[in-house]
Structure 1
Amino acid sequence: MNTKTVGPLRRKGSWGRRVATGVLGTLLLLGAAGGGAYAWLRATSEPQRAGNVDLTGLGGRVQVTRDAWGVPHIRAQTDEDAVFALGFVHWQDRAWQMDFQRRVAQGRLAEVLGEAALPQDRFLRTWGFQRAAQSALPALDARSRRLIAAYTAGVNAAQGRGKTALEFRILGYTPEAWQDVDTVSWSKLMAFDLGGNYDDEVMNARVARRLGAGGLDQVTAPYPANGPTILSADEVGAQSAAPQTGATSDAPHLPDTPSLPDTPGLPEATVAALRAHLRAAEALGMQHVPGKGSNDWVIAGSRTATGKPILADDPHLALTAPMLWYLADVQGSELKAIGASIPGLPAIVIGRNARVAWGVTNMNPDVQDLYVEPEGARLTSRQEVIRVKGQADVAITVRESEHGPIISDNGGGGLNFADAGPRVALKWTALQPGDTTMDAFLGLNYAQNWPDFTRALSRYVGPSQNFVYADVDGNTGYYAPGRVPIREGWDGSLPVPGDGSREWRGFIPFGELPHTFNPADGLVVTANNKVVPDGYPYLLGNTRNWAEPYRARRITDLLTATPKLSVADVQRTQLDTRSLVWADFRPILLATKPGSDRARQALGTLQGWDGNMTTGSVGALLFEAWLMQLQEMARDELNDATVMNSLSVLNQLRGVGELCAQGGQGDCAALLTRTLDAAITDLQARLGDDMTGWTYGTLHQVASNHRAFGKVSALAWLFNHHAPTPGGTNTVNVARPEHGTYAQTHGASYRQIVDLSDPDRSLYIGSLGQAGSPLAPHATDQMNRWIGGQYLPMSTRAADWGNTQTLTLHPAGQ
């Protein structure tokens, strides 16, 4: 079959809509070849999952048993062989995903996707993700480098088997061999996805320019003074008594309330250049969005029915096809871990071993700053050449100051640094040399106790996360590792001058980062909320850095309502869809003066709604539609598409409401009437006149879309996966409807519940399935379970695996 591409689809929209579509895609669309084509495609793309195979690079025999859901259980005699096998199965099941993500890090998408991907490549080359990965590799310890090398050998052994992922056939290219640096580069992309506030600074600069510095708190509300913090004042004060590892320092502490700096003026041309990078990141699914966060918590045995801890985690990230995570059970001589891995990384990222369990959520400290460089600042430059499929190469100049890359350059659309005005540099912990985060993740897999755990985390750089801990001995803990800059007299919320007056004063010493061991109340809850009370001596971020407090408050309420918690109680908490946001908005919204009979009917429906965001609820859809309209209240003041968060809207409705006025006229009461009518009009256009049929799940559906073909009409039906889902804005089971579409594009990408009384009774589940190919049997077999609140056994016992297939890997020549 001819798989040469036939040219790009000329449609407006993101680069994904204009990806070249092959003859293969057309045949699939038309069904011209019938069932035989599917059989042929599966035979030539599906990897071998049973039998025996000889491979170069192995030291001994390895058994890979895939369970009833396609999860591999790897049994090897050495750790190197176990990680080799993990690389082998990662490439077998997720080859396209791995190649795509390394092309993202390298800024080499246009080579295979064409001119439409140039803005992404400009962004990626200018920021220098791959260069940062190359600088990090030599800093890793000997064990990490050894395991990475074994992983690389396993990936390349699988690639050498000759099976080709469907995406490679459609785009007509053969992937290159995997290299060690490709493993490190993915961690840099995760650092961007979770670890900065660059986009906030760009928005804040626009807000301050139009509304003054006081406008920042109106558009993005500060964290409430009564909002829950992860650690209490007592726990922060007791840190010196807790077991600690890592260096100490006499670095100066920050004042409790830093002042905002004078912000250098940024003309519209410069802001446009900076926002071009944001748009490029959005096209890659790397943007910051409300609801992209996570929940995790750890419960001491004093609060559980078994007397042993329970640890839960559900990271909220982009929901893609294939899914981000890959469930795996990896056992060598010392390495014995099970949980969620990421294809491209040689470790279990979230999970457990026989003694220790861990979970992560985004801490979201401020680790990025924008510097407006003065005239005469010393800059270096380099040339980057971007290869473009079907066209001439494109050369760009990347300049750097002492702070980092000048990101106001290369904004896309032909914009160059001569057009952009002031030169704005990015300083970011993840771009600095000596990143040993991979040591930390591999070290967690080996940890046997709290000292091992904290020793591993002392190597952690970024993205800074909230790590919860539990062990079979009954201990629980929390640590927030990573490089967090020390700023004196400024809070990092706005761009600052690059004249030396606003420089970092080192990083918070590891031993003084927030942490607790065996807290007295037996409970640690994190939901991207504020980490420490105001008395903590360092500034982790400005008052607008943290997620709204609703999830943290709801989780704490549920977990403290039952004296002795079970795994079933924890499951119910993870799946909770009760909206505390609605509870706050309810009295204000229900007091709205209706502007029409349909508005009166909608208010009557909301009057009887209990705030539960279920797929069959009409009230849930009415509330989210109304909230979307209210979130646009700042657009006329800012002249852009700013979407305010729920707390900012609530503050306006409760207070003076300066942003409620439209065109300088009106008040919040008038805004409520107007936005309710607008929400009803929108839903009527989408769903018809019968309001009783406006159920939440009709519009609110998970959108696990392919990152390259998700918006290519000829292929989207094959690669994308949609279904109605419960949950909403700031519910524990986060499922925020996307503004304007109602789609759920982010959510609990993985769930785990670890029972330390019997670790093999633990549970986990992914959002879609193990396989990357849409034709594979395990492509989507976890999705309905995930939506319905079911789990898979997180067990190393063969009796729990159901029907299995076993592939035995043998060293070549033995």
Structure 2
Amino acid sequence: MITRDAWGIPHVTGATVLEVAREQGRATAQDRAWQLEVERRRTEGTCAELFGPSALEWDVLARRALLVDVARRAYAALAPESRDFVDAYVDGINDVLERAWHRWTPLAVFAVQHLLFSRFPSKLWQHHVGTVLGADAPEALALLRSEGLPGGSNAVAVAGSLTAGGLPIVAGDPHRVIEAPGCYAQVRLTCTDPDDPFDVAGLTFVGVPGVQHFGHAGAVAWGVTNAVADDEDVYVEELVRHRGAVIARGAPGSGRGWEPVARRVEVVRVRTGADAYDAVPLEVLVTERGPVVVGGPGDAATFSLRNPSYVLGNLGFDTLLPLLRSRSAADVASAFGHWVGPVDNLLVADAGGAVEHRVVGRVPVRSAGDGRWTGWVEDLPRRTGEVLVTANDRATEEFARIGDDFAPPHRARRLAEVVAELAASGPLTPETLADALADDRQVAGESLLDLAAGLLDLSAPASALRDRLLAWDRRMTTSSVEASLFAAVRAAVVESFAAAPALAGVDATPHGELYAPWFDLRGRLRLALPALLRATKPFGVDPLQAVADALEEVAAVPGAGAWGSAHLAVPLTPHQQFGLAAPAGEGAPLIAVAGDDDCVLATRALGGAGACVHGPVARFVWDLAGASRWVVPLGASGDPASPHHHDQQAAWAAGGTIPLEDS
């Protein structure tokens, strides 16, 4: 049975777990039919057949990365009960859709959501920097060292001793590209089987059964952020054609010489007109290390990708049913024992008082000699506490066991500071923790403003601008003109570094537009700006002079508007994600949003000061005392004509939430 609350959010009830799964599939297809069609095409690499040449890059990557192959292997390896659960969900989808899903399609959809939400694009960028800068690359990469993209997710868990309800609260806000329809769907799943009862509210990837990363199961609740673990390797390959086959040079030190490469040719159908299509042949190659994702025989740069899901043939779906049945933090931790990737920071709390942070997933152990994978890190980081915060950062020194390249610490520090301030003023509530997630204080700009404070030889307009920024409250609110001025000054400082001769050639995208966000030099510089401004003439640029020049430049341009006049959330439709104009009526209204790259409310603007395409794609506050709240950027429905297409947008943009209601 499917009922809906006042926001159109489905509440699925079934007499058995398989009935729940089937009804969830039906509800998803009713709400997101068009999105499910797009997701299916993304998994199979057939987007260009619908969207044309601009989608070809994605189709090539999806096929080269073996998304379908891995999904099929992972489906075949599922425990029987998990396989039945997935099958029932697919049956529900196929009850509604005209074009049938395969049994393995939900697993492939999950893989799609994480293919580029990973380390490998940044490793391609690091190789690019090494190629361009040569001997200077290590110093450059050290200065630019940070997570793959600006902005990021937050999560906090607090003990019942600090809350108004006397029980723990888990809250968070995953950050991704803001899409229309959104990548997450809100759902409540209830099984009335007396031998297998559960009642779980949570967020699910559209096209995936159950709830995965964020859930509230009565006496226990959980949420995650990406742990930014080093769980993938990208290999430089040397491929040649030999006697009708393709061979690869063996890994250095392996002593294996030339090795055979698995090869097949697929045909990608590309729409070129109303009823016209091109057939583009695609060579899919797999070396001993992994599938070739960039380049091929004779190309200047060829790379293969190795990740745990490919190696294990496992996408972690045996986690899903145990999560629904969890009653305690220990149950949730046990369920995530099946998790593979992405490697996540799991925050979990239960009504018994447990509040825990665990890293979950598979991180490879590499041999010291040739880097071969020899097993999996067993002793993953774990901690407990009254207040636990994670924001893709190096939460403890134990994180050295899983990687060495985490998010800067300022978001986590600021969120912990805000929660501490709120707790000092009274018991924490779901509303106050939601407010903490919407904190819009610019916390990485101190280095720029500190340098500005020491400047002496400024013109009168630049001096006035400097004084205005120093008096600013550092809030990136939609009504703040100072926020716009700060962003403009920061952009001008970044431009000084981007124009440095020492970085000539770095600002390029050698592997296609699909990877452009990871190769955006200005985005990298903006994220690393605090470190650059503390360094001594990084890349030959004098930081003091760069700040002075930026103040003069911005002061010479009159009439700055409020931050919200340009910082508008732009939910990208599938057409827009493939570089096309959205069909009339398909998109969502644009709306001003607060925040910035360097805020807890990490809303990333194009160029640091324009439209916002990356930010919180959900916000949740799981109160084990019963007053939980949540919100998504648009609404429950993917149909632009539905009253629930974007009825949550105003609350989301204001940093708010809506109550988790009984239907």
Q: TM-score, normalised by structure 1?
A: 0.72
Which position in structure 2 is the counterpart of 1:771?
637
Q: 1:477 aligns to what SS in structure 2?
A: strand
Which position in structure 1 is the counterpart of 2:341?
462
Code of the residue aligned with 1:379 in structure 2: it is V
Is residue 2:103 matched to residue 1:180? Answer: yes
Q: 2:6 aligns to what SS in structure 1?
A: coil
Task: Give a deviation string over 1:316-366, Cα, whole Å, max 9, x none.
Answer: 111111111111111113242112122201112212112211101111101
Which position in structure 2 is the counterpart of 1:381?
263
Task: Give a deviation string over 1:163-206, Cα, whole Å, max 9, x none.
Answer: xxxxxxxxxxxxx2112211000111222243324323433442
Which position in structure 2 is the counterpart of 1:425?
304
Match of 1:529 among 393, 407, 410: 393
Q: 1:338 aligns to what SS in structure 2?
A: strand
Distance 2:123 2:487 in 1: 24
Is residue 2:587 matched to residue 1:752? Answer: no
Distance 1:114 1:473 in 2: 54
Q: Tell me how far 1:294 sits from its aligned partner.
A: 0.9
Match of 1:471 among 350, 353, 365: 350
How do 1:293-692 and structure 2 match up within 5 A? Answer: 293-332=152-191, 333=193, 334-349=197-212, 350-373=214-237, 375=249, 376-389=258-271, 390-409=276-295, 417-421=296-300, 423-489=302-368, 501-509=370-378, 512-516=379-383, 519=384, 521-533=385-397, 539-542=401-404, 545-561=405-421, 562-563=423-424, 564-592=427-455, 596-632=459-495, 633-636=497-500, 637-638=502-503, 639-641=505-507, 642-643=521-522, 644-646=524-526, 648-661=528-541, 667-679=542-554, 684=557, 689-691=558-560
Task: Give a deviation string over 1:9-68, Cα, whole Å, max 9, x none.
Answer: xxxxxxxxxxxxxxxxxxxxxxxxxxxxxxxxxxxxxxxxxxxxxxxxxxxxx2x21111
- For the 8 Å contact 1:140–1:436, the answer to whether it is kept is no
Q: Tell me how far 1:680 sits from its aligned partner.
A: 5.3
Distance 2:146 2:14 in 1: 51
Code of the residue aligned with 2:225 in structure 1: it is T
* More relative contact order, 1 or 2 (CA 8 Å, 6+ apart): 1
Distance 1:680 1:76 in 2: 63
Distance 1:592 1:133 in 2: 58
Code of the residue aligned with 1:700 in structure 2: it is H
Distance 1:149 1:222 in 2: 41
Distance 1:690 1:392 in 2: 50
Code of the residue aligned with 1:178 in structure 2: it is W
Q: Tell me how far 1:371 sits from its aligned partner.
A: 1.7
Match of 1:78 among 5, 16, 34: 16
Q: Tell me how far 1:488 sits from its aligned partner.
A: 4.2
Distance 2:320 2:448 in 1: 41
Q: 1:133 aligns to what SS in structure 2?
A: helix
Distance 1:74 1:422 in 2: 50
Distance 1:215 1:308 in 2: 48
Which position in structure 2 is the counterpart of 1:272?
none
Q: Tell me how far 1:432 sits from its aligned partner.
A: 2.3
Is residue 2:572 matched to residue 1:705? Answer: yes
Q: 1:678 to 1:720 in 2, by over 3 A?
A: farther
- For the 8 Å contact 1:290–1:645, the answer to whether it is kept is no
Distance 2:175 2:527 in 1: 20
Code of the residue aligned with 2:607 in structure 1: it is H
Task: Give a deviation string over 1:218-263, Cα, whole Å, max 9, x none.
Answer: 441469xxxxxxxxxxxxxxxxxxxxxxxxxxxxxxxxxxxxxxxx
Code of the residue aligned with 2:136 in structure 1: it is G
Distance 1:193 1:442 in 2: 26
Distance 2:177 2:171 in 1: 20
- Would you say how many aligned residue pairs link Structure 1 and Structure 2? 614
Distance 1:738 1:569 in 2: 30
Which position in structure 2 is the counterpart of 1:280?
none
Distance 1:119 1:627 in 2: 33
Distance 1:127 1:305 in 2: 48
Distance 1:593 1:130 in 2: 61
Q: 2:294 aligns to what SS in structure 1?
A: coil
How do 1:87-98 and structure 2 match up within 5 A? Answer: 87-98=25-36
* Bigger mean CA offset, 734-743 vs 547-556: 734-743
- For the 8 Å contact 2:447–2:533, the answer to whether it is kept is no
Distance 1:610 1:786 in 2: 23
Q: 1:714 to 1:318 in 2, by over 3 A?
A: closer
Q: 1:109 to 1:466 in 2, by over 3 A?
A: same
- For the 8 Å contact 1:139–1:436, the answer to whether it is kept is no
- For the 8 Å contact 2:123–2:234, the answer to whether it is kept is no
Task: Give a deviation string over 1:387-441, Cα, whole Å, max 9, x none.
Answer: 22223311111221111112332xxxxxxx3441354322122322331411113
Which position in structure 2 is the counterpart of 1:118?
56
- Quick check: which has more Rg, 1 or 2? 1
Q: Tell me how far 1:213 sits from its aligned partner.
A: 4.5
Q: 1:646 to 1:713 in 2, by over 3 A?
A: closer
Q: 1:378 to 1:502 in 2, by over 3 A?
A: farther
Q: Tell me how far 1:208 sits from its aligned partner.
A: 6.4
Q: 1:554 to 1:177 in 2, by over 3 A?
A: same
Distance 1:205 1:388 in 2: 30
Sequence identity percentage: 28
Distance 1:422 1:705 in 2: 31
Q: 2:129 aligns to what SS in structure 1?
A: helix
Distance 1:180 1:134 in 2: 9
Code of the residue aligned with 1:539 in structure 2: it is R
Q: 2:570 aligns to what SS in structure 1?
A: strand
Q: Tell me how far 1:573 sits from its aligned partner.
A: 0.8
Q: 1:421 to 1:709 in 2, by over 3 A?
A: closer
Q: 1:672 to 1:660 in 2, by over 3 A?
A: farther
Which position in structure 2 is the counterpart of 1:202?
125
Q: Tell me how far 1:369 sits from its aligned partner.
A: 1.3
Q: 1:378 to 1:593 in 2, by over 3 A?
A: farther
Code of the residue aligned with 1:320 in structure 2: it is E
Which position in structure 1 is the counterpart of 2:83?
145
Which position in structure 2 is the counterpart of 1:810?
none
Which position in structure 1 is the counterpart of 2:115?
192
Task: Give a deviation string over 1:706-733, Cα, whole Å, max 9, x none.
Answer: 1215654472664143111111122111
Give the unaligned 5+ runs of structure 1: 1-61, 161-175, 224-287, 410-416, 490-499, 662-666, 799-814
Distance 1:89 1:199 in 2: 37
Which position in structure 1 is the counterpart of 2:601?
733
Q: Tell me how far 1:123 sits from its aligned partner.
A: 1.8
Distance 1:338 1:593 in 2: 57
Task: Give a deviation string over 1:45-101, Cα, whole Å, max 9, x none.
Answer: xxxxxxxxxxxxxxxxx2x21111111112221111111111111111111111111
RMSD of aligned residue pairs (Cα, Å) = 2.3
Q: TM-score, normalised by structure 2?
A: 0.88
Distance 1:79 1:134 in 2: 23
Distance 1:323 1:436 in 2: 22
Q: Tell me how far 1:596 sits from its aligned partner.
A: 4.7
Q: Tell me how far 1:370 sits from its aligned partner.
A: 1.8
Q: 2:165 aligns to what SS in structure 1?
A: coil
